Structure 1
Amino acid sequence: MIREQVADTSAQGIARTISGLISANMIKPGDQLPTVRSVAGTLGVSSSTISAAWRLMQNHGVISTDRRRGTTVRTSRGSIEGRYWQVPVPQGTLDIDLSTGTPDPELLPDIGIILHRLHAKVAVGSYLDAPVLPELEAELRRRWPFSPEHLTVVDGAQDALDRLIGALVQIGDAVVVEQPTFPPLLDMLELAGAEVIGVPLDHEGMQVNSLRTAVQANPRAVILQPRAHNPSGITMSATRAQAIAALLGPETWVIEDDHSGDAAGVALTSVSALRPGRSLLIHSYSKSHGPDLRIAAIGGAAAPIRQLERRRSLGPSWTSRLTQQILLEMLTDPEIEAQVALAASTYKQRRTLFVNALGSHGVVIPVGAGLNMALPVRDEQSAVIYLAAHGIGAAPGRPFLVDAINYDFIRLSIGSYTGDPVTLAATVAAATRAGGDSRIGSGQ
Structure 2
Amino acid sequence: MLEIIDIEGRSAAEIADSLRTLIERGALRPGDALPPVRALAEQLGVNRNTAVSAYRQLTSAGVVVTLGRGGTRVAGAAAVAQEGFAADTALRDLGTGNPDASFIPDPSGVLASIARRPVLYGEPVIDPDLERSALTWMGGDLPEGTPLRLTVTSGAADAVERLLAQALTRDDAVALEDPCFLTSIHTVRVAGYRPVPVPVDDEGMTVEGLRAALDQGVRAVICTPRAQNPTGASLTAGRAAALREVLAEHPYVLVIEDDHYSLLSQQPHHTLISAEHRRWALVRSVSKFLGPDMCLAVTASDPETADRLAMRLTPGTTWVSHLLQRLVHALATDPEVAAGIRAAGEHYAARNAAFSALLTAEGLPTRAGDGLNVWVPLGAPARAVSEQLMRRGWLVRPGDEFALGDHGASERLRLTVHELDDAEQQRLAADLAASVRAVRERSAMIDR
- TM-score using structure 2 length: 0.81
Matched with 2:217 is: 218
Partner of 2:168: 169
Match of 1:264 in 2: 265
Q: Distance in 1 between matches of 2:201 and 2:100?
A: 28
How far apart in 2 are the matches of 1:55 and 1:397?
35
In structure 2, C-alpha distance between the alignment counterparts of 1:208 and 1:148, rounded to whole Å: 26
In structure 2, distance between residues paired with 1:236 and 1:166:
26
Residue deviations 1:291-327, cap 9 Å, x none?
A: 1111111111222332222222221221111000001
Query: What amino acid does structure 1 have at the position aligned with 2:223?
Result: L
Cα drift, residue 55 of structure 1: 8.9
Partner of 2:284: 283
- Measure the CA separation in 2 of the matches of 1:414 and 1:271: 30
Which sections of structure 1, spanning at least 5 residues, go unmatched?
6-17, 439-444
Moved more, 281-290 or 419-428: 419-428
Residue 430 in 1 paired to residue 434 in 2? yes
Contact 2:252 2:277 in 1 (8 A): no
Q: Is the 8 A contact 1:83 1:400 kept in 2?
A: no
Question: What's the CA shift for 1:34?
Answer: 8.7
Deviations 1:346-368 (A, max 9, x none): 11110111111111101112111
Q: Post-superposition shift, 1:4? A: 9.4
Q: In structure 1, how many angstroms separate the alpha carbons of the residues matched to 2:428 and 2:195?
A: 36
Q: How does 1:54-69 map to 2 (within 5 A)?
A: 61-63=62-64
Give a deviation string over 1:166-220, Cα, whole Å, max 9, x none: 2222122121111100122112212222221111111111122222222111210
CA distance in 2, matches of 1:196, 1:171: 11
Contact 1:370-1:415 at 8 Å conserved across structures: no
What is the alpha-carbon distance in structure 2 between the residues aligned to residue 272 and residue 171 of structure 1?
25
Q: C-alpha distance in 1, partners of 2:123/2:184?
A: 31
Of 101, 110, 122, which residue of structure 2 is paired with 1:105? 101
Q: How far does residue 434 in structure 1 lie from its aligned partner after superposition?
A: 4.2
User: Over residues 256-312 of structure 1, what are the superposed CA-to-partner deviations in whole Å (9 max), with x where a residue is unaligned?
Assistant: 111222122322211125555321111011001111111111111222332222222
Correspondences of 1:293-442 after superposition (within 5 Å)? 293-377=294-378, 378-406=380-408, 407-420=410-423, 421-435=425-439, 436-437=442-443
Partner in structure 1 of residue 246 of structure 2: 247
Which residue number in structure 2 is paired with residue 121 of structure 1?
Answer: 116
Residues 220/29 of structure 1: CA separation in 2 closer, same or farther (3 Å cut): farther
SS in structure 2 at match of 1:170 = coil
Counterparts of 1:82 and 1:242 in 2: how far apart (Å)?
36
Change (3 A) 1:56 1:97: farther
The amino acid of 1:135's aligned partner reads D
Contact 2:84–2:98 (CA<8 Å) still a contact in 1?
Answer: no
**Higher normalized contact order (CA 8 Å, seq sep 6+, divided by chain length):** 1
Give 2:226's aligned residue.
227
The letter of the residue matching 2:428 is: L
Give the equivalent residue in structure 1 for 2:207. 208
Report the equivalent of 1:184: 183
Identity %: 31
Cα contact 1:150–1:299 (8 A) shared by 2? yes
Pair member with larger Rg: 2
Q: Distance in 2 between matches of 1:3 and 1:327?
A: 58
Residue 58 (structure 1) shift: 5.9
1:10 aligns with none
How far the C-alpha of 1:423 sits from its partner, in A, is 2.2
Which amino acid in structure 2 is aligned with residue 428 of structure 1?
Answer: L
Secondary structure in 2 aligned to 1:169?
A: coil
Contact 2:279 2:302 in 1 (8 A): yes
Taking the aligned partners of 2:341 and 2:97, their CA distance within structure 1 comes to: 17
Instruction: Give the 3 Å change call, closer, same or farther, for CA 426–140 of structure 1 in structure 2.
Output: same
1:139-154 aligned within 5 A: 139-144=133-138, 145-146=141-142, 147-154=146-153
**Contact persistence 1:179–1:200 (CA under 8 A):** yes
TM-score where L is the length of structure 1: 0.82
**2 CA distance for matches of 1:155 and 1:289?**
14
Contact 1:157-1:284 within 8 A present in 2 as well: yes
Number of aligned positions between the proteins: 408
Counterparts of 1:3 and 1:226, CA distance in 2: 52
Q: Determine the C-alpha separation between the residues in 1 that align with 2:80 and 2:20.
A: 28
Residues 267 and 219 (structure 1), Cα distance of their counterparts in 2 relative to 1, 3 Å cut: same
Partner Cα separation in structure 1 for residue 81 and residue 185 of structure 2: 9
Shift of 1:89: 5.7
Checking the alignment, whether the CA contact within 8 Å between 2:10 and 2:46 is kept in structure 1 is: no
- Kindly state the Cα deviation for residue 26 of structure 1 after the two structures are TM-superposed: 11
C-alpha distance in 2 between matches for 1:92 and 1:224 = 34
Of residues 408-417 and 349-358 in structure 1, the stretch that sits farther from structure 2 once superposed is 408-417
Report what 1:195 is aligned to: 194
Tell whether the 8 Å contact from 2:265 to 2:345 is kept in structure 1 after alignment: yes
Rounded Cα–Cα distance in structure 1 between residues aligned with 2:195 and 2:57:
12
DSSP 3-state at the match of 1:272: coil
The Cα shift of 1:82 comes to: 2.3
Compute the RMSD of aligned alpha carbons.
3.4
